[in-house]
Amino acid sequence: MIDTSFSVTPNAAKRIAFLASQEAKPVMMRVAVLGGGCSGFQYNFSFEEQRNDDDLVIERDGAAVLVDSTSLELLKGSQLDYVEEMVGASFQVKNPNATSSCGCGNSFSI
């Protein structure tokens, strides 16, 4: 059984719903973990119209987030957030499995 304990904060859901509403067709945000980056793995965010058979779909406050089963293994217990800071705003993954991350926050290792 796959641990599906990946969550989306209200701030992230609100921003995803807003961005998706700007698209011509209905879209869902995909959160994926890819090899690479300065720490071994990196997060990738994209909008997609279709879901895959192995995707976990998380729906919250009008937003839909997709996570494939391979990425979900590396994201167990994580939370997707949208943070607005003085230097800018961004989606961030708070990942308890990451043993280290780089300064940009988009790359991590386990």
- 110: in domain: no
Torsion angles phi and psi, residue 4, rounded to 5: -100, 30
**Selection from 53, 49, 80, 78 nearest residue 68 by Cα:** 53
| pLDDT tens string 20-72 | 999 999 999 999 998 876 667 888 999 999 999 999 999 999 999 999 999 99
User: Which pLDDT value is given to residue 110?
Assistant: 55
Tokens of 91: 């989606």
- 39: in domain: yes
- 1: in domain: no
Task: State the Cα–Cα distance between residues 34 and 31, nearest whole angstrom.
Answer: 10
Number of other CB atoms surrounding residue 50 within 10 Å: 8
CATH code, domain with 15: 2.60.300.12
Name the pTM for this structure: 0.83
Task: Tell me: pLDDT of 1 over 50.
Answer: no
In total, how many domains does the chain have? 1
